[in-house]
Structure 1
Amino acid sequence: MKIIEYADREMMAIDVANVLAGEIEATLLTHDTASLAVPGGTTPGPVFDGLCAADLEWDRVHVLPTDERCVPEDHERSNARLIKERLLVNRASNARFMPLYYPVDDPEECRPEIQTMLSPELPLSVLLLGMGDDMHTASLFAGMPGLDAALGDGAPILAVARPETQPEARITLTARILDGAMSKHLLIQGQSKRDALERARGLPPEEAPIAAVLDDLTVHWAE
């Protein structure tokens, strides 16, 4: 794991956008397409604002969330909504978006179909992650039902997460898929998340799910 510290959040957003654009461009030199997995939440928004203007062959870039809340795309808590509003605009409007959730009664119903769609995208070309103060990443939460299976070497591409601390079910890329990305980045802000990351380094993934992806991870941090 490598940690890059920035003087401020604006500088971090600009630099991370440039790094991701460079890695996508490098992937497209040797591959027909590049897969980019990104988180929701408010933290990556400024990165998306810069990345969407990058001069790339966006029609060869496939964008997907690292995880998704099981809510309609127009819902305020939808990761797809944020990604479409902040990333898939400007030059990046030509990218292909690959949703993790369809509006069904049970997310298990759409999981096989979405896994089939995602399989050709693996391993992920570029991965950007977020992390909570509780050391969760994507929708892998400590103590949630099914976490052990989502962390295992034989995990499927996707898992349905029903953490008791969250108001809705979620669908998430599993640790195997996240950790297998060709390039991995973590974006965090504030001292509390820096402290949480340091705690995670000494804990098993069952207690700190972010620990499952720390090998070869580049961490971008600003106060």
Structure 2
Amino acid sequence: MILETYPDRDLMMLGLANIIAGQLGEFLRRDGKATLSVPGGTTPGPIFDTLSGVDLDWANVAVLLNDERWVPESSERSNTRLVRERLIRGRAAQARLLPLYAPAESPEEMLPALEDGIRPHLPISVLLLGMGTDMHTASLFPGADRLEEALSSHAPILLPMRAEAAGEPRVTLTAPVLRGAFNTHLLITGAEKRAALDRAMTLTSIEAPVRAILDLATVHWAE
């Protein structure tokens, strides 16, 4: 794990957006395509705002959420909705947003089709993750019903996940997909999450799921 600390959040968001843009640009120049995986929630919003204005070959970038609540995009709880509003606009409007939700009562019904849409865009070129104070990342929650399966080296691309802390059923990228990314960044803010990060280093990935990716990550932190 590499830990980068910043004097304030604004500098961190701008600096990390520039790093991500640079790494995407390297993949586009070398391979002609790139895959960016991002978290939901409001914390990465300023990064999305900056990236949306960067001059990249966005038509050849696939954007994929780390995880999604099993709700339609019309819901205020939808991560897809937030990413479309903050990232898939401006110059980045040409990017391809890969779905993690499809109309159905439960995620189990749609997982094969969703995985088929993701598979051609793996491995992930640049992975941006967040972390909760409970040390979850993506929808890998401590105590979740299929956490052990999702952490297995033989896990499929996606798994449905249900946990008390998660609210709705979720769909999440599994640990092998996250660990397969070429560049991994973990974004955290505040003293409470820094303390959770330090604690995670002493625990197993079952106790602290973020532990599954920490050895491969650059952690970006500001108070």
Are the equivalent residues in 1 in contact too, given 2:131–2:186 (CA < 8 A)?
A: yes
Query: For 2:99 and 2:59, how far apart are their aligned partners in 1?
Result: 16
The residue number in structure 1 matching 2:188 is 188
Kept in 1, the 8 Å contact 2:141–2:166? The answer is no
Cα separation, 2, equivalents of 1:133 and 1:216: 20
2 CA distance for matches of 1:121 and 1:215? 23
Q: How does 1:68-79 map to 2 (within 5 A)?
A: 68-79=68-79
Task: Look up the SS of the partner of 1:219 in the other structure.
Answer: strand
Deviation at 1:166, TM superposition (A): 2.5
The corresponding residue for 1:119 is 119
Question: SS of the counterpart of 2:124?
Answer: coil
Equivalence for 2:14: 14
Aligned to 2:110: 110
Q: CA deviation at 1:146?
A: 1.0
- Asked if 1:31 corresponds to 2:31, the answer is yes
In the alignment, structure 1 residue 146 sits paired with structure 2 residue 152: no
TM-score normalised by length of structure 1: 0.98
Q: TM-score, normalised by structure 2?
A: 0.98
C-alpha distance in structure 1 between counterparts of 2:193 and 2:77, whole Å: 21
Deviations 1:180-212 (A, max 9, x none): 100000010000000001111111100000000
Report which stretch shifted further, 24-33 or 59-68.
24-33
Matched with 1:61 is 61
CA distance in 2, matches of 1:30, 1:157: 25
Q: Does 2:141 match 1:168?
A: no
1:3 pairs with 2:6:
no
> Unaligned 5+ residue runs, structure 2?
none
Is the partner of 1:116 in helix, strand or coil? helix
For the residues of structure 1 that align with 2:216 and 2:162, how far apart are their CA atoms? 29
Deviant stretches of 4+, over 4 Å:
none
Q: Distance in 1 between matches of 2:191 and 2:74?
A: 32
Q: After superposition, give the CA deviation of every residue in 1:18-74 in whole Å (9 maximum; x if it has no partner).
A: 000000000111213100000000110011011111110000000010000001102
- Distance in 2 (CA, whole Å) between partners of 1:11 and 1:211 is 26
SS in 1 for 2:138: coil
Q: Which amino acid aligns with 2:90?
A: N
Q: Give the % identical residues.
A: 53
Counterpart position of 2:86: 86
- Taking the aligned partners of 2:161 and 2:216, their CA distance within structure 1 comes to 26
Give the total of aligned pairs. 223
SS at 1:165's partner residue? Answer: helix
Report the 3-state secondary structure (helix = DSSP H, G, I; strand = E; otherwise coil) of the residue aligned with 2:64: strand
In the alignment, structure 1 residue 40 sits paired with structure 2 residue 35: no
Q: Give the counterpart letter for 2:77 in structure 1.
A: R
- d(CA) in 2 for partners of 1:85, 1:23: 23
Amino acid at match of 1:203: L
